[in-house]
Amino acid sequence: MSVAYFDCFSGVSGDMLVGALVDAGAGEGKLREEVGKLGLSGVEISFREVKKGGIRAKKLDVVCAEEAGHPARGLGAIVALIEGSGIPEGAKSNAVKVFERLAEAEARVHGVEVSKVHFHEVGAVDSIVDIVGACVALELLGVEKVYSSTVSVGTGEVRMAHGKLPLPAPATAELLKGKPIRQTGVRAELTTPTGAAVLSALASGFGECL
């Protein structure tokens, strides 16, 4: 059985997950081809080498033409986009599961029904690419189980569509409820709702890598 273990010592985000999975062997070209099947116009993805704290890593960049925009989307529209694409069935199922988990968290935070949730940051084109890209990469690697370490989170504030919010962001905190987290003194958003949603929806367990 192929297992992916994410060591979230400095948090987790959607683009971080995709970059790490490509670095682990999911082909850049194949991933680009599969994500292209979403049919998002004016969107280009690329990868580059970066150094973080002296350690090399793979960075995902999502570039959207201005006309592609970042519209607010409801869960139904995002699910229809994913299910109507030609990406692998396993990736479709996982991506829908991640967005459903996100919608449940957002609904609880904002006190509305899941059907009334409209995504802003997480519904933007780059975040759709991040989530679908992560699920496609797991499929390309043949990963059957996902596990995660304790998830590090930052402190301070972050500006979102609803104004300034505390860190971890309310949706992130909701998604990580019941999961082991480590509060750091870093005044930055180490873990995003997108990254938390992927792990919350797909990880079979959280803890030390034995």
pLDDT in tens, 136-167: 999 999 999 999 999 999 999 988 777 788 99
pLDDT in tens, 29-52: 999 999 999 998 888 899 999 998
| Average predicted confidence (pLDDT) for the chain | 92
- Measured torsion, CA atoms of residues 22, 27, 30, 32, in degrees rounded to the nearest 10: 40
Please tell me the pTM assigned to this model. Answer: 0.93
Q: In the predicted model, is pLDDT for residue 185 greater than 80?
A: yes
pLDDT in tens, 89-109: 999 999 999 999 999 999 999
pLDDT in tens, 119-139: 766 567 888 999 999 999 999
CB proximity list for 187: less than 8 A, separation 6 or greater: 154, 155, 156, 167
Looking at residue 150, what DSSP letter applies?
P
Between the alpha carbon of residue 166 and those of residues 3, 80, 199, the distances in Å are: 34, 32, 21
